[in-house]
A = this chain, B = another copy of it.
Amino acid sequence: MISDVVPADVFKLAMRRLAAGVTIITTCHDGERCGLTATAVCSLSADPPQLLVCVNRSSRAHDVIKRGANLCVNLLARRHKALAGHFAGRKTGDERFRGGKWTTLKTNAPVLDDALASFDCVVRETVESSTHTIFIGNVVDVRLRAEGHPLLYAGGSYAGLQVIADRRKRAAVTAVVRRPAKRRRSKRA
């Protein structure tokens, strides 16, 4: 049996390479709403529709999720970069919610009005680990917005998505590449 594990700093350095979509996980219990920016979110099964999130046990939201047994996973777009910063620690408590427009679906968990998608969940199971808890949620409602550019996190920075060049997808690639093309515009003029 192999029992030694790698040092935490080596693990963290390697984990920075796992690019992930950025979400804001919210919850509400007895009128107290909380939220945090998170990338540790996975689809678990489609039928029944379930997802999981890993939340640090030292976070305020952790205890509120446990008490209220509800959470909402809001998938962020690039335009939400500042909001992601607020929920990652730049703001505290209810102040975090000031940078967005919020509503609710079936549970009391706050739903970001213009998220790419929001998954409203009832917590079905919790699995406790040493520092984190895995919350498994049954998805009781979904709100889907028009498609947009997802906000990603990798290597310690926020990032966007780039379509990979493919003959069949050249039009899409051009759309991504066109953005900083001041030179082309001046050629046309």
Which among A29-37, A90-98, A137-145 touches the partner chain?
A: A137-145
CA distance A71 to B12 in the complex (A): 19
In the complex with contacts A8-B47, A54-B42, A161-B152, A179-B180 CB distance below 8 A? no
Q: Can you list 30 contacts pairing A with B, beta carbon distance less than 8 Å?
A: A3-B140, A5-B48, A5-B49, A8-B47, A10-B142, A12-B46, A14-B142, A15-B117, A17-B21, A17-B75, A18-B21, A18-B41, A18-B75, A19-B150, A19-B161, A20-B20, A39-B42, A40-B44, A43-B54, A45-B131, A45-B132, A52-B52, A150-B154, A152-B152, A159-B163, A160-B161, A160-B163, A162-B162, A165-B179, A173-B180
CA distance A107 to B5 in the complex (A): 12
A: number of interface residues (CB 8 Å):
81
Copies per complex of this chain: 2
A130 within 8 A of B: yes
List chain B residues, Cβ under 8 A from A39: 42
Q: Hey, which bits of chain A sit against chain B, CB under 8 A?
A: 1-8, 10-15, 17-21, 23, 39-52, 54, 75, 78, 81, 106-107, 116-117, 119, 122, 125, 127, 129-132, 134, 136, 138-142, 144, 147, 150, 152, 154-155, 157-165, 169-170, 173-174, 176-177, 179-181
